A = this chain, B = another copy of it.
């Protein structure tokens, strides 16, 4: 699959490594593409770099991996997104990354869906630290869960495939509105990692299931 990743920060870079490592064609989108070439070259010879618009045009699936404060500008300055899958791994965090700026009556994912007209938005990987993506999905004999939510069945299935490729356990968490639960769940992980200092690659959710 051709995947554009918008953002070359810690999370964008880790998701770039993740999708390229699983055999996808990757273009990073950046405000300053020249500065992102080193990152792309370290991932692989075929990884390309472009503007945000070029990466959106390139991707069948586009990952938005920007800081929350920049997210709307990046979306507004790229696109059109019509029909593309937009994988939202962001969290609408406060500048100090210790809380959320919106919640309860809306969510980052729902805002993004309003901004990116026509995109098929799927929330996923927002509760997975970049360091955990790099270190892999295995915890002993357990695999970490990635919850995802969205309103388009096909888009969700494709994202679930991306989740599975890396050994993570995909769990369908319902419609996009349930990002109102997935974003606070990510903050729970943030609290464990940052405040209780468990370490970013050392904790993850697993959804335990019994046969019905």
Contacts and interface: CB of A to CB of B under 8 A. Distances in A.
Please report whether the interface of chain A is mostly helix, strand, loop or mixed according to DSSP. Answer: mixed
B174 A208 contact: no
A206 B187 CA distance: 16
Given A100-B104, A104-B104, A184-B185, A204 B208 contact: yes
A1 interface: no
A207 interface: yes
Closest 5 CB pairs of A and B: A103-B104, A184-B184, A104-B104, A139-B208, A181-B188
Interface stretch (A12-20, A32-40, A46-54, A195-203): A195-203
Interface residues of A, number: 41
A177 to B, nearest CB: 9
A70 interface: no
Copies per complex of this chain: 2
Contacts of A208: 139, 142, 144, 203-206
A45 B39 CA distance: 69
A171 interface: yes
A197 to B, nearest CB: 9
Interface string A159-201: 0000000000001111000101111110110011001101101
B139 A142 contact: no
B171 A182 contact: no
A212 interface: yes
A212 B202 contact: yes
A102 interface: yes
14 contacts: A103-B104, A144-B208, A178-B191, A180-B184, A181-B184, A184-B184, A198-B212, A199-B210, A202-B212, A203-B209, A203-B210, A204-B208, A205-B205, A205-B208
A188 B181 CA distance: 6
